[in-house]
Structure 1
Amino acid sequence: MDNATLKYVLDQLYKEYLIPLFLVNDQYEIVIPKTNWSSRNFKEQVLEETHPNEIRYFKKGAFFYSNFAFELPEYGTGTVMIGPCGALEAGSDSIHFQGHTYFAGIHYSKSSREGFEQFTNLIFAIIRGTLGQNQKQHWYYDRVYKSTNYHLAQNLSSRRDQKNTLDSYEFERRYIEAIRRNEPDKIKWLFKKMADTYKVKLSDSDLEGLKYKYAGLITILTRVSIEDGVPAEQAFSLSDALLQRLQSIYTYAECLVSVQEASYKFMDMIHSYQYATKNQLVQKILNYIDEHIYDRITLADLADFTNRHKTSISTQFKKEVGQPIHVYINHKKIQESKHLLLFTELSLKEISGLLHYSSQSHFVHTFKQFMGITPGEFRNENLTYHFE
């Protein structure tokens, strides 16, 4: 493959997959693509010494990287560096790099570990002319992180100084509740409060700051819609379309209007799918659980609320939803706790109290049953990342 063809193929692959990749020569100069970036940052992160017959993968906080050696007539020997690619399960949906903020779905994609491996093997086959699956492949993980990245540290510091962490979380909680309850008037009211609620400076301009919040809200709404029954493909398609709008927004007013429109679109989609096949009794129970997720919810409470016998609602609920009521309630509370773990500094004891678990140990035990890891491990794996 000649040089021009290789550049074209790699450029098309980036446009299709949104996974950045760079060819770096032995002098640590980026030869493909043309860019004013410095490879020095890459060298510090993942441009480790490569082996001719090995593909190396790196999990750096919320992001995947990979590299392998190349030898091309025009460039000699060097390293192919692939990434960053966001980890699909990670909470982060942006990366601040070399003075710029990059958003998932616009500048880079998010993928599972397996998907990232498949993409790396595709690039390996194109550049090396042989199958990557035949090479030795090894993953390297960061086990301990000393600090969060600069922006995370600065924002948390600002939130502590202003004492508005709970205020910002309260806005988001009410926002999601309004979306789930199909309350457009409340959405409109909440957006009037947005400027006062979010006091943390997220970027150097109001427009970029609002775009950052826009991307974050779209990510949250995508997650919420899938949790509430919208097919994942449908949710991600709407998310992609809305995020693509960011490229053509040039004023603060346009962005604010787009955020509100996005909220209404997700609300319509959620309520066109959510519980559509459920009978009225089960709909009432599901809505009650959503509205009282921070309360202690018992079968007796639901029986009183619906004026039905406990056995009747238990049988009907399991038939319609596919799981017992108490399992569903615990699932919803654990989903809410994941949000608290990532977006607040509340202790495990405080979170267990907010969600009305009988004790911290009960909360930890239940969380591990659903997630396979403890709440502390979940917070560490998904929040404490940075780029050295």
Structure 2
Amino acid sequence: MMKQYYIGVMSGTSLDGVDLALMDFTLNPPKLMATDFTPMPEKIREKLTALLRSGETSLRNLGEIDHQLGLLYAESINRFLQKVRLKSEDICAVGCHGQTVWHSPNCEFPFTMQIGDMNLVAAKTGITTVGDFRRKDMALGGQGAPLVPAFHQDLFFAAERLTVVLNIGGISNISVLEENCPTVGYDVSVGNALLDSWIELHQGKRYDKDALWAKNGKISTALLTDLLAEPFFQQAPPKSTGRELFNLAWLNKKLEKFTALSQPMPSPQDVQRTLVEFTALSIANELKKLQKSDRTNLLLVCGGGARNPLIMQRLTALLAEWRVLTTSEFGLDIDYVEAAAFAWLAYRRIHNLPSNLPSVTGAKSEVSLGVIFPK
């Protein structure tokens, strides 16, 4: 049987780099064959960080970043092919998410913007490329996010249990898989975005490796209470969010209240520890609403946050009624679940199969997501 190889490409809100996943869809369930990672070049990362913080740029700058990202994705794919000893003709298609620079599904004119020129990806790799996955769902009244729950359903559903897949990337989102119930999935809280931004601001590090800095901080109850008061947590799903809400400006507004009320300001390290608690507690609060008393409650964690021992420790402690594991223990590397999902989305688009879940995004109907850029 001819192999059905697809490559998924994902660069997320953490801006750390490009994840690549090679999937074989001749198998059922499909199998993750190989993975790779390309660090985000510093110049591109600086431009993206500035763009995401301000939400403003010139058309020239936007076009140039779009081009640079297209080249980065293409170069990453070509290196990956060399590494796994495959040729472009061995790959049916690439599914590339692009880099989200704005996601606004609830405004008067809903839109989402992912950049990274897919024409360049197709031209430089010689592989048919599928991109622009979110806007068709939004055109049908959906949030355009999250898109990964349909993939989670395909891989992790089991009738005898409640399964929740929790991806802790820059933002944390869940997929809820339950027998006789439509699958739902939505963003539940921030993930690593604030933690990474805060330690970079104060320590010059990209992330808090093994939570070593946070572990020696103390929780500020006052700050934690204020963070948890964010109205987003009271919104009913479907819902989605991103760095346009959970960013340093949002955090600094919370911290300014300490000065206004003449209260002692938490130290930067205490803020980091509080942010870990905020992330774990806001996630746990949502999961407690979902748990069942008559069956196993399984939580499968993936994404960069699954490597944070303090977050995992707190989730396990806060969720006594749950079995807390990672997707790696079910055959899908925690760092490459989203990249694998975009390979799956490309496979569905090439075969014109529906790939959104209206129960997740709120769209009016199922549709095959993505725009095809021929090689």
Pair in the same fold by TM > 0.5: no
TM-score, structure 1 as length reference: 0.28
More helix by share: 1
Relative contact order higher in (CA < 8 Å, ≥ 6 apart): 2
Larger Rg: 1
TM-score, structure 2 as length reference: 0.29
More strand by share: 2
